Amino acid sequence: MQLIDGKKIASDIRKELKEKIDKLKAERKNVPGLVAIIVGDNPASQIYVASKSKACEEIGMRTKVEKFPATFHEKDLIDVIEKYNSDKDYHGILVQLPLPKHINENKIIEAISPQKDVDGFHPMSVGNLVIGKETFVSCTPAGIQELLKRYYINTRGKHVVVVGRSNIVGKPIANLMLQKNDYANSIVTVCHSAASDLSYYTKQADILIAAIGQPELIKGDMVKDGVVVIDVGINRIEDKSSSKGYRIVGDVAFDEVAPKASYITPVPGGVGPMTIAMLLSNTYKAYKLYGE
C-alpha cells in the first residue's frame, strides 16, 4: 500500500506556480490576481477565505478579500461581481459559499464571467466539462485527477466508482474521469444514498472515490484487493482521548481499507490540500488564457 501525499503534491504545485510568477515579475509583467468575496460571518468561511488569500500571497499572486455583512443585498453583490468582471487586475473571482439564505447562489454563480470562474461552478464551465471542451474544472475534482497523474496511476479502461453526486465533487469528477484524456478514459459508475446495496458497486471499483460526507462509511469488506482509494470526506467525530475532544476522519474507514488498497489518500493530508492548490492553478490558467 502506498500513501498518496496530497500535502506534498500541493506544495510542489505551489512551488511551480511561484517560479512562473517570479519570472513574470522579473519581466515586469502583470501577475495573476484573485479576489475572494465573502458575505456574512460564517467562521468556517472566514478560515477558508483567509487560507486562500494567504496561499496567493505566498506564491506572489495579487489577492484581495471583499467582506460584506450578512444583510448585504443580492443586487449589490451582483454589482460587486460585475465590477470585478471588468477589472483587468483580477483574473479569478471566488464567491465563498454558502451565502445567506436571502441570496440566490445560482444567480451569483451565473453573474461571474466564465473567463474568471476559477471555482468551475458556472453552468458554462460545467457544460464545457461534460462535452470535453477546455474549461475551468472545480478545484477538488481537478485536485483528484492531479493526484492520479502525479502518482502515475493508470486510469484507462479502469472502473472508477464515485460514491456521492454533489455538484462540487461527485458529478464533476465522474464527468472528468470519463473524458477521452490522459488520466481519465475510465468506465465510471456513480452511486449514492438511493443504492439498496452500496457494497455491490464499491466492490467492483478499481478506483474508488468516496465523496458522500458520512464518516467511515466505506469499510474493509466493501472493497477489493488492489483498489486505489481517493477519500474526499472531511468529518469531525467525537474522540474523548483527543485534547480537542474530536478527530477528523474521511468517508473511508482507513485502518480497515488501507491493507487492501494499492494506493490510498489519508485524511487529513490527502485531497484537502489539493483544493487550494488547484484554485491557484486555475487562477494562473485564467491569467494565461484571458489576462496576459
pLDDT in tens, 151-163: 999 999 999 999 9
| Catalytic site residue from 5, 52, 158, 206 | 52
| Catalytic site residue from 5, 96, 158, 171 | 96
Which pairing describes strands 159-163 and 62-68: parallel, antiparallel, or unpaired?
A: unpaired
* pLDDT tens, position by position, 92-123: 999 999 999 999 999 999 999 999 999 999 99
C-alpha cell at 215: 464518516
79 part of the active site: no
Give whole-number Cα distances, 115 to 34, 92, 290, 291, in Å.
Answer: 13, 8, 7, 9
CA distance 11 to 287: 21
Res. 240: pLDDT tops 90: no
52 part of the active site: yes
Query: For the residues 51-68, what does the mean pLDDT come to?
Result: 96
* pLDDT tens, position by position, 241-260: 888 888 889 999 999 999 99
pTM: 0.94
Question: Which has the closest alpha carbon to 193: 168, 227, 217?
Answer: 217
**Dmax (CA) of the chain:** 60
**What region, left, alpha or beta, does residue 134 occupy, with left being phi > 0 and alpha being psi -120 to 50 degrees?**
beta
Task: For Cα atoms 183, 188, 191, give the angle at the middle one, nearest 5 degrees.
Answer: 135
Res. 164: pLDDT tops 90: yes
Res. 292: pLDDT tops 80: no
115 part of the active site: no
pLDDT of residue 205: 98
The CA-based dihedral angle spanning residues 77, 170, 254, 274, taken in that order and rounded to the nearest 10 degrees: -50
* Other beta carbons within 10 Å of 164: 24
| Catalytic site residue from 5, 117, 119, 251 | 119
pLDDT level of residue 44 (50, 70, 90 thresholds): confident
pLDDT of residue 238: 84
Query: For the residues 201-223, what does the mean pLDDT come to?
Result: 97
